Amino acid sequence: MVGNDDPNDFVDKINAELPPQIRIWGIQKTNNSFNSHTHCDSRIYEYIIPSHCFLPPKPGSTAFESASRLPRQEREVEPEDTFWDSIISPDFYSLLRRYYAHKKLGEGDELPPDLTPEEADRLTAMRDGEKEAIRAFRISPGRLGRITSAFKVYLGTHNFHNFTIGVPYQSSQAQRYMRTIDISPPKLIGSTEWIGIKIHGQSFMLHQIRKMVGAVLVAIRYGTGEDAIRFMLRTKENMHVPKAPAQGLLLQQPVFSGMSEKLQKFGNEALSWEPFQEKIEKFKDEFIYHSIFQETTAENVYVL
């Protein structure tokens, strides 16, 4: 396919003609029957999410009221439990309700006329302080450990009928096998700390990964713990499992285990992404992660 050219030189020549957002990593030999769609026997997806999304609900919010009615798992105290104590003042929600009631009347973004200048300044300062505190938030080892443990509940074969739409409990399609789930160390993108969740599964259904992330968010934020996730997986009842935003999901890599075994039997190298991993991670940092950060920030996707 490459003639007498060196494969690396051939790759460089192709990439020189492509925009920087599209890259070819390398060339690997396969047999004539190889089909990247039909020979893909599993996939690795990554979901990245700001660590502040795992904070407990804000006192006085609708989410806080909902969480107060749910059974909570016993656990040790974590720094996140007191995060809102110094940020949310007693009159914050009173002022905020008056502000949004005014906006619903179609009066635009200006402050309601019944807010005094002092109240308006106080509301603005509190909202600015909240944004700064959220951006500066860094997750504790204890909470990160619970997040990791919660995702491990999905490992193995489970019935994911509650993690998609239109698939009943009795359907064989609901059975899915998760091979590995890894939580990357938190990293800064811009001024915000993000967590990467890599999920290697044999196959996935519509919305499955986003609902898997959503269920862990509920378990950690609302304090229901891992048992809530186990219940979602084993119950025959249809449950509402929230979806995490679509912007954080990306396909990390397709896996060709079966084809790799065939190639190795005939003395060829297995199909592997490993030789290109360093370049791929650099590309993700430069183009994908920062693009997700900019889009989600501009659209306020991960607002608490």
As a whole number of angstroms, the distance between CA 58 and CA 68 comes to 12
Give, for all 304 residues of the chain, the pLDDT tens digit: 444 567 778 999 999 999 999 999 999 889 889 999 999 999 999 999 999 999 999 887 788 888 888 888 899 999 999 999 888 777 777 787 777 666 554 455 555 556 788 888 888 888 888 889 999 999 999 999 999 999 999 999 999 999 999 999 999 999 999 999 999 999 999 889 999 999 999 999 999 999 999 999 999 999 999 999 999 999 999 999 999 999 999 999 999 999 999 999 988 899 999 999 999 999 999 999 999 999 998 888 997 7
In this structure, which amino acid lies at residue 155?
Answer: L
- pLDDT at position 1 is 44
Q: Please give the domain boundaries of the chain with CATH numbers for all domains.
A: 40-58+64-75+140-255+262-298 (3.30.70.660), 81-136 (no CATH)
Residue 286: strand, helix, or coil: helix
Q: Is the pTM here over 0.75, yes or no?
A: yes
Length of the chain measured in residues: 304
As a whole number of angstroms, the distance between CA 219 and CA 212 comes to 11
- pLDDT at position 184 is 95
Are the C-beta atoms of residues 134 and 45 closer than 8 Å to each other?
Answer: no
Q: Which structure tokens are listed for 204?
A: 């996935």
Where are the alpha helices (H) located in the chain, listed in sequence order? 7-16, 62-68, 92-104, 117-136, 141-152, 208-221, 226-234, 257-265, 277-283, 290-298
Complete DSSP assignment for 61-122 = SHHHHHHHTS--------GGGGGGGGT--TTHHHHHHHHHHHHHTT--SSPPTTS-HHHHHH
